[in-house]
Structure 1
Amino acid sequence: MTTDDAAMKRDMAPRPVRILGMLTGPGAFRLILAAAVFVSHVSRIGIGRPAVVLFFMLSGYWVTRLYQGWSASTWTFEASRFLRIWPLLAVTAIVVWLVEMAGILPLHGNLLSTLGLLGLAVRQGDVIGVAWSLDLELQFYLLLPFCLWWINRRTDGRATRAALLLAVLTVAGAIGMANGWLTALAFAPAFAGGVAIRLSDWRVSTRTAAISVAVFVGIGVLLWLVPATRMMVIKGDVPWWLDLAYTAWCLTLLPYVAWNVHQPSPPIDREMGNLSFPLYLVHFPLIVLAIRWAGDGLAGKALALVLALVATAILYLFVDRPFERWRSGLWRRRRDTMVAEARDSPP
């Protein structure tokens, strides 16, 4: 048997399922964050907002990676990212709105405002209760090409330009929040952290990643022990600067995120990551429905979990996957057309 044959046989051999490894992949991490948002909405534990901050951090890495490998124009990139999040949002919002019109759920938000998405976090009117974060995600998509152009416009001074841009965006976001305007700029450091991981190709050891988790948890314990900061862990008053504080706290997990995005992602891990999106979108209206039917005790929360899991599976199989296959095929066909046009054009 040749060396290549031996390697092929080794690669094809069945491997034991490693539960810990399944929980540390990039997809599993996103699913855990979506589950954290669910837990936050059925309890007084304030882990929902930090989970959203970490979503933005992960997005900074993955979207930058996608953009760097994008062979078509910037506007097609923006259109592709919009079509990744909007169809599932639209279906979810329309179904929830129809349920509200039927009197099964209390009226909440405005359907047209939700479907408009961009600027939703400022103008309010969110039908499903969590679409505000998708508005901010879309804003990050629009900002990313400009930010990368600014950073890479010259070979020297990139770090200085990046730091200056981040400072300006963060200050602008803080001023906006202080005046009641929630925009993507409020979470600019988190998204920028993910971008920096990608641009620097930062590799982190398992030990360093574990230390960052320990620091994050330790700060959480201190926040809980101090009465003035307990509302960051146990829900209480919500001052305007709370999201800025959450972002600063979550930046201690940047080494873990840098480690996580470089972990292997087998098919099961990618499926877990894909499931996080429909779970995030659909869970809040179903919590409201379950509490209305079964009360806000354990029975209502258990019912909310069951309903959320069932609805997630339905949305994933019959909406998200078909739309994603269509979207992927659309840009693949466009790339093939561009290649053919370039080949057939005169020199």
Structure 2
Amino acid sequence: MNNILPGPGLLRFLLAFMVVVHHSFPLRMGTWAVYAFFILSGYWIARMWEDKYASTRRAPVTFLWSRWCRLAPVFFATLALAFVSSSLIPGAPQLPQDVSGWLMRQVPIVGSKSAGTILPPTWSLDVEMQFYLVFTVLMFIAGSRWRGVVGWLVVAMAAASFLLVVQELGTNVSENTGASLSLYFWLFAIGMWLHKTRWAPSRSTALVSAAAFVGVTVLLLAWPFTREAIWMRGGAKAATVAAGALDPRTIVHFWWALGAVVFAPFIAWNVLQKSPSWDRMLGNWAYPLYLFHWIPRDWYYSQVNWSGPASHNLMLLGINFAAALGGSWLILKLIDQHADRQRARWVNARLAPTAR
């Protein structure tokens, strides 16, 4: 049975491809996929800190620099391609007016979204870097005489973060891509908790978790009231609702948040599975695919004609997906893998002799 379930790398790749589908196809599940990514990030960062970073010289500095180096090469490469895309493709995000100021704001990654973006998926990288900073502070406290408060701090911050999400859902039904960790810390905290507790759910528990998420999602797709909040063509607008009436997008967005929690047992099981080399490659491929896919997506929307033949539009969609996969593969091979090997060597060189 394990052979037909995704390994850790394949799961990350499937989540990234779900975002690709979200941006080019009517099935709009990308929000949930990013939420699942944040849970995974919380788990892997907590695990990597304990397994490696905590044993390095000047651990907080090593951790932050390493994580920035993990994100930056693909981030800057795709930004450069997006800059060209915005210059050439009609309908692509507009170039910033103050290019030099915009470029300076991109360098730290933190705060890059607030300067304006020509590559919309990068908002989540801004959130990731914010989490790395907060995590570093938490680990610094954990190494001091105040370490007993770290657990309570995480719980309090996660509770405040979730309450803020509930408030946002009550007042704003647009897709939530605000680049503030305050809206997402609770998801990272779930991942951190999965590592801290060493929870190892059974395969059957994992399957029930995944089946519950899929089952409710299918019901929402089948229910006419919520269907178009999930099955919506890019560029289309949801039907307006009467004042005071419940907006179906509120239900769907709440489910993406709750569905991430429902899916967490599957994530907890998945991260403990063996990951052969091909699976790790797929996991690494997920990152450039997630960022790069927006560029062929811009081309696709500049060419598609919704009133034209369906066969022509399907051909364009296929080219879009193929270009996203092919372009991101080249970024993986030509940039990401080389940069990551250098980063890993640097981190290993900073390990204490007893930890090597």
Q: TM-score range by the shorter chain?
A: 0.7 to 0.9
Q: 1:137 aligns with which of 121, 128, 131?
A: 128
Letter in 2 for 1:320: D
Cα distance between partner residues in 2 of 1:157 and 1:184:
20
TM-score (structure 1 length as normaliser): 0.80
Alignment of 1:1-347 (within 5 A): 21=3, 23-69=5-51, 70=53, 71-72=55-56, 73-102=59-88, 106-110=92-96, 112=103, 113-121=105-113, 123=114, 125-147=116-138, 162-172=154-164, 182-226=179-223, 229-230=226-227, 232-235=229-232, 237=238, 245-293=255-303, 295=305, 297-335=313-351, 339=353
Cα distance between partner residues in 1 of 2:165 and 2:111:
14
Identity within the alignment, %:
27
Identify unmatched segments of 5+ residues in structure 1: 1-17, 341-347
Please identify the structure whose Cα radius of gyration is greater.
Answer: 1
Instruction: Tell me the equivalent position of 1:344.
Output: none
- C-alpha displacement of 1:240: 8.1
Structure 1 pair 36–162 and aligned structure 2 pair: CA distance change class (3 A): same
* 1:133-187 CA-partner distances (Å, limit 9, x unpaired): 1111111111123345667867878765543332133335666786995412212
Q: CA RMSD in A?
A: 3.1
Letter in 2 for 1:315: I
**Is the partner of 1:130 in helix, strand or coil?**
helix
Structure 1 pair 109–29 and aligned structure 2 pair: CA distance change class (3 A): farther
Structure 1 pair 247–148 and aligned structure 2 pair: CA distance change class (3 A): farther
- C-alpha displacement of 1:218: 2.0
**Is the partner of 1:39 in helix, strand or coil?**
helix
**Is the partner of 1:30 in helix, strand or coil?**
helix
Structure 1 pair 114–304 and aligned structure 2 pair: CA distance change class (3 A): farther
Tell whether the 8 Å contact from 2:93 to 2:119 is kept in structure 1 after alignment.
Answer: no
**Is the partner of 1:203 in helix, strand or coil?**
coil
Instruction: Tell me the equivalent position of 1:4.
Output: none
Structure 1 pair 162–332 and aligned structure 2 pair: CA distance change class (3 A): closer
Structure 1 pair 95–301 and aligned structure 2 pair: CA distance change class (3 A): same
**Is the partner of 1:264 in helix, strand or coil?**
coil
Tell whether the 8 Å contact from 1:114 to 1:131 is kept in structure 2 after alignment.
Answer: no
* 1:73-109 CA-partner distances (Å, limit 9, x unpaired): 2121011001101111101101221343356774535
Letter in 2 for 1:318: L
Letter in 2 for 1:271: M
Letter in 1 for 2:112: L
Tell whether the 8 Å contact from 2:79 to 2:118 is kept in structure 1 after alignment.
Answer: yes
- Higher relative contact order (Cα pairs below 8 Å, separated by 6+ residues): 2
Tell whether the 8 Å contact from 1:290 to 1:304 is kept in structure 2 after alignment.
Answer: yes
**Is the partner of 1:131 in helix, strand or coil?**
helix
Identify unmatched segments of 5+ residues in structure 2: 97-101, 239-246, 307-312
